[in-house]
Amino acid sequence: MLQFLLDVLIRTSDLLLVSVGLSTLYSLIRFPNIAHVQYAMLGAFLSLAGQRAGLPLALAAGVSCALVGCLAVLLNVLVFTRLQRSGSAVAMIGSLAVSLIAVALMLGTAGSRPLQYTQDLRVPLTIGGVAISDAQAYSIACGALTLLIFSVLLYRTNLGRSMRALASNRPLALASGIDANRVTNLITFASGVLAALGGTMLGLTESVHVNLGNNLLIPAFSAAILGGLGNPLGAAAGALLIALAETVVINVDFGSLVGRSMQFFPVAYVSAVSFLILLVVLMVRPYGIFDREVRRV
C-alpha cells in the first residue's frame, strides 16, 4: 500500500507543476497553449546542459527555469498575442507549430537518445520497507512546496488578486486600473518556470529526452481540464486524480478474468487512461469538475 501511495505522489508531482502553470496561464490568455508542455522538455535539457557545464544541479535548474520563463514571455509577446488577434483557434494552432519547432530543434541538437543527470549514488531512504530514492523525495517535496508557494501567491498577494480579477471580469479589472500586460507577463514567466521545474524533476526521476513534453501533453491537459481550465488549484487536484487512475490501472491484477495466475495492463497503455478520463469529463462536465470555482467572481 505504501508503495502504491509513493507511486501516486511521484506521478502527481510529474503532472502538477506543468498542469498548474497551464491552467493558470489559460485563465488570462484564454487559449490552450500546446507549446506549454515543451517548456518542460526545454527546461530538462537546459538543466542537463548547465550541470554538464559544471554547475551544481540546483543552480543549473534555477538558471534553466529563469531562461524558460523568459522564453515563455517572449513567445507570448511576439507570437501568441499577435495570433490571438485572429482568434483563439488560430493561437492554439500556432502553439502547436511552436511545439513542433521546439521538438525538431532539440532533436537536431541533442538527438533522440535518452540522457541522464549525474547523480551521487546513495543508499535509498527506506520507509515501511519501501525504498525512496533522493530524486523521488526531491520530486515530491518540490511539488508540495511549489503548490504551497503558488497558493500563497494566488490568494495572498496583489499579483494573485489582480490575476483573479482579470480572469473573472477583464473589462472591470481594466477599468479599475490593473495593468493587464504586466500581470500576464508575470504569470507567463511563472508558468514557464513551473513547467521547466517540472521537466527537470521528471528528468531527474526518469530521463531527459525529446518526447518528454509530448508524453506530458495528454495527462497534463487532462488534469487541467478535469480541475477546470483556469482553476490552478483545481488542476492540482486533477493531477492527483489522473495519477491515481493511472497507478490503479497498472497495478490491478486481472489475471482471474482471463484465466491466468497474474496479468497486468502493459505500461504502454497507461496513456489511454488519460484519454479515457479526458473523454468522459468532456462529455459529462465540459468545463471541469470545479467549474463553479472558475466562474465565481
For 31, 89, 183, 250, the CA distances from 28, given in Å and listed in that order, are 9, 15, 9, 36
The residues, any chain, with a CB within 8 Å of residue 249's CB and separated by 6 or more, are 265, 269, 270, 273
Q: What is the CATH number of the domain that holds 244?
A: 1.10.3470
Range of 289's domain? 2-114+129-295
120 domain-assigned: no
Q: How far is it between the farthest Cα atoms of the chain?
A: 68
151-206 pLDDT, tens digit per residue, is: 888 888 898 889 888 888 888 888 888 998 999 999 999 999 999 999 999 998 88
Give mean pLDDT, residues 51-60. 93
For 17, 189, 194, 271, the CA distances from 200, given in Å and listed in that order, are 11, 17, 10, 21
**Rounded to two decimals, what is the model's pTM?**
0.88
DSSP, collapsed to helix, strand or coil, labels residue 231 as: coil
Q: Between helices 134-156 and 158-168, what is the axis angle to 10°?
A: 70
- pLDDT above 60: residue 276: yes
pLDDT given at position 297: 35
Number of structural domains (the chain) is: 1
27 domain-assigned: yes
pLDDT given at position 127: 75
pLDDT given at position 229: 75
96-154 pLDDT, tens digit per residue, is: 999 999 999 999 999 889 999 987 777 777 777 777 888 888 888 888 898 898 888 88
Give mean pLDDT, residues 200-229. 89
pLDDT given at position 295: 45
262 domain-assigned: yes
121 domain-assigned: no
- pLDDT above 50: residue 293: no
DSSP, collapsed to helix, strand or coil, labels residue 99 as: helix
DSSP, collapsed to helix, strand or coil, labels residue 194 as: helix
Q: Which residue has the higher pLDDT, 183 or 269?
A: 183
pLDDT given at position 257: 67
119 domain-assigned: no
pLDDT given at position 258: 64
- pLDDT above 60: residue 29: yes
197 domain-assigned: yes
196 domain-assigned: yes
Q: Read off the pLDDT band of 268 (50, 70, 90).
A: low
- Cα separation of 114 and 101, whole Å? 19
pLDDT given at position 296: 41
Share of the chain above pLDDT 90, in %: 41
